[in-house]
Chains A and B, each alone.
Chain A
């Protein structure tokens, strides 16, 4: 079955760029949308954005100026870059597969990685 695994630095300095990678195993990265979601400690969930295997993206406007999501189908990976980070970007970061219905409508995230904690601190 499809599994997702996030990887990347656990500590990033303020003003630098947070870079994470999600590796897809057990299935194809094609024909799906792939999302990034984050959760600050003790708080709720925030959708960051998604990428389609073809490379098209959709970002949360609250982060759009700082976010880039990319895909490397040959490596079965998609990645998140978040620039100019501050302490407010400290969070657990999850990658997830978007679940599409028969009409190709996004109906939620059915497969999640275990998450990776990123702390922004000097």
Chain B
């Protein structure tokens, strides 16, 4: 299953609402996870099952969608949120990741 993300790059300001879209080449039910990766660090699980917030993740992060279209929303961008975000499908082997969306400071 191929995942596409849009945009691939976005420039935003602190306090902005940010939305990233992930599309699957075929339906994956709700088996979608979102990760945040900062330079030189391992990815961090933010959301699983498309919309469930991982323990310890701030509530400004939210996820939605099912089937083939999913979104990750950051309600009010904070300085520590500038990073690259990846979606991942876990419905069908092999597990695959999207190409990533880099969120940069405007």
Point out residues on A near B: beta carbons under 8 Å: 44-47, 49, 58-62, 94, 96, 99, 101, 105-110, 112-115
Q: Are A112 and B94 in contact (CB under 8 A)?
A: no
Contact of A60 among B44, B54, B88, B94 (CB under 8 A): B94
Shortest C-beta distance, A47 to chain B (Å), equals 4
Give the residues in chain A near B43, CB-CB below 8 Å: 45, 94, 109, 112
- A/B pair count, beta carbons within 8 Å: 62
Q: Are B31 and A107 in contact (CB under 8 A)?
A: yes
What total of chain B residues lie within 8 Å of the partner, measured CB to CB?
A: 23
7 residue pairs of the A-B complex, CB under 8 angstroms, read A58-B93, A60-B93, A101-B49, A107-B48, A108-B33, A109-B35, A109-B45
Interface segment among B11-19, B73-81, B96-104: the answer is B96-104
Give the residues in chain A near B49, CB-CB below 8 Å: 101, 107
Q: Are A113 and B42 in contact (CB under 8 A)?
A: yes
**B43, B54, B86 — most chain A CB neighbours (10 Å):** B43
Q: Are A115 and B94 in contact (CB under 8 A)?
A: no
Give the residues in chain B near A108, CB-CB below 8 Å: 33, 35, 45, 48, 88, 90
- With A108-B45, A115-B42 given, is the CB distance from A44 to B98 under 8 Å? yes
Shortest C-beta distance, B70 to chain A (Å), equals 13
Shortest C-beta distance, B30 to chain A (Å), equals 9
